[in-house]
Amino acid sequence: MHSNKILHAIALALPLAIFGCSSNPFIPSNNTSTTGNTLPSNASLKQKYADHFLVGATADSGSYITHADILKTHFSSMTTENEIKFELLQNVEGEFTFETADKMVDFAKANGMTVRGHALVWHRQSPDWLFHNAEGEPSSKEDLLAKMNNHIATVVNHFKGRVDAWDVVNESIMDNGAFRTEKEQADDQKSWWYGITGEDYIAEAFKTAHQADPQAKLFYNDYYNYIPERRQAIYEMLKGLVEKGVPVHGVGLQCHVNTERSLNPAHQSYQQTIANLEQAIQLYASLGLEVHITEMDVSIYIGGNKYEEKDFYTAGNIPEELKVKQAERYAAFFEMFRRNSDAITSVTLWGIADDNTWLSEFDSGRADFPLLFDSEHKPKKAFDAIMDF
């Protein structure tokens, strides 16, 4: 048995031992959804995949309550969508606000879920006091690393023993394989981390997190891993860290995809094929790293608003064939995940049900329906597809 799998088996067995069978959080005690939709007694995602990997979902400060039934019934892992990001925990320097995150993590733990902490170091949703001093000049390298280390040490220590895996560094690499810098064109693409410290912040962030909680699994997380230049650059970076003995234990593949193979037909290299993603998984696993799929959703649109689609759907008018397409896409990915479950120990959906998804907020005015449960919390064709094989 792969050592990851042994840990996984222990993780699954522990709640059984602690809680006993009757209140085992991995066996749904209540199989009725919030809308009164009755599920077959064996229709639990987490049980279906228990021999392969944990199945997770992200929740936010509202949905962990409003969608609690689905979370408890189907998911063995939970990620906080925003509540553990830098600006939510330390928006004002030195003032940590853990209250909401604590409640969410406690909920997950009370229901036997593994918790993924997302994310310690990222270029977005991070306060500007990190990167600039009072005069508006860029922070010195020493200053930025000191602020980063203080944040990581405080946060990881606070959640020690409750957060099982951390996305320590999120999205350092660009599509062309270069490190993300402060010179990127769009504001939300700029990263001062690299601009100020070069690559050094990455290794240092992992070391500081490891010191704060030596038991926690530490991940590097990124997106579009199917683009060859990106995939290779992430691999090279991780290889360098592993060779230097930096405590990195795994890699997170976000996996925001759509029902087609390509994000934008104009970009032929952006092929979201199963084979391209599988190649990334196997490449990273060859470094001895554990793989988590961390943010999966399957948009029903091919691109953003600016692309070619004319039809924007509502919950009531999604064509049947699009639902089938989405279901087939989910099934194809999950089939590949299962095939690689020696390396993959966790698969997380970015959201719980279609009434609460970042994709509907991101492209404002256009509702998207990318998850396994519909806007009324009922299981969709996509759910059936990954339960059926």
Whether residue 386 contacts residue 45, with contact meaning beta carbons closer than 8 Å, is answered with yes
Least Å distance, CB 49 to ligand GLA, is 22
Least Å distance, CB 385 to ligand GLA, is 24
* From 81, 204, 290, 295, active-site residue: 295
What is the distance between the alpha carbons of residues 195 and 385, in angstroms, rounded to a whole number?
Answer: 45
Query: How would DSSP label each residue in 358-374?
Result: HHHHHSTT-----SSB-
Q: Nearest-CA neighbor of 355 among 33, 107, 28, 31?
A: 33
Q: Which is closer to ligand GLA, CB of 337 or CB of 358?
A: 358
Q: Which is closer to ligand GLA, CB of 12 or CB of 372?
A: 372
What is the distance between the alpha carbons of residues 195 and 182, in angstroms, rounded to a whole number?
Answer: 5
Q: Is 290 in the site for ligand GLA (CB under 6 A)?
A: no
Least Å distance, CB 364 to ligand GLA, is 13
Q: Which is closer to ligand GLA, CB of 213 or CB of 295?
A: 295
Least Å distance, CB 255 to ligand GLA, is 10
| Residue window 357-386: x/- pattern of binding to ligand GLA, with contact defined by CB under 6 A | -x----------------------------
Whether residue 173 contacts residue 234, with contact meaning beta carbons closer than 8 Å, is answered with yes
Q: Select from 149, 254, 346, 375 the one that contacts ligand GLA (CB under 6 A).
A: 254
What are residue 379's DSSP bridge partners? 373
Least Å distance, CB 50 to ligand GLA, is 26
* 171 annotated active-site: yes
Least Å distance, CB 59 to ligand GLA, is 13
What is the distance between the alpha carbons of residues 213 and 223, in angstroms, rounded to a whole number?
Answer: 26
Q: Nearest-CA neighbor of 196 among 207, 206, 184, 181?
A: 181
Q: Which is closer to ligand GLA, CB of 118 or CB of 249?
A: 118
> How big is the site for ligand GLA, counted in residues (CB under 6 A)?
6
Interface of this chain with ligand GLA, residues 341 to 360, rule: CB under 6 A = 358
Dihedral Cα 64, 222, 240, 287, nearest 10 deg: 70
* From 81, 83, 171, 290, active-site residue: 171
Q: Which is closer to ligand GLA, CB of 26 or CB of 220?
A: 220
Q: Select from 164, 204, 290, 295 the one that contacts ligand GLA (CB under 6 A).
A: 295
Q: Output DSSP code: residue 38.
A: B
Q: Is 194 in the site for ligand GLA (CB under 6 A)?
A: no
Q: Looking up tokens 């554990």, which residue turns up?
A: 290
Interface of this chain with ligand GLA, residues 25 to 44, rule: CB under 6 A = none
Q: What is the distance, to the nearest Å, from the Cα of residue 163 to the centroid of all Cα atoms in its chain?
A: 14
Q: Looking up tokens 């064509």, which residue turns up?
A: 319
> Which residues, at least 6 apart from 208, have a Cβ–Cβ distance to it below 8 Å?
148, 149, 152, 153, 156
Q: Select from 26, 75, 223, 270 the one that contacts ligand GLA (CB under 6 A).
A: 223
Both structure tokens of 150? 């203080």
Which SS3 state, helix, strand or coil, does residue 8 take? helix
Least Å distance, CB 75 to ligand GLA, is 18
Q: Which is closer to ligand GLA, CB of 295 or CB of 374?
A: 295
C-beta neighbour count of 207 within 10 angstroms: 18
Q: Is 170 in the site for ligand GLA (CB under 6 A)?
A: yes
What is the distance between the alpha carbons of residues 44 and 31, in angstroms, rounded to a whole number?
Answer: 9
From residue 5, alpha-carbon distances to 15, 203, 280, 343, 346 in Å are 16, 26, 20, 9, 11
Ranked by CB distance to ligand GLA, the top (closest) residue is 358
Annotated catalytic residues are 171, 295
Residues near ligand GLA (CB under 6 A): 118, 170, 223, 254, 295, 358
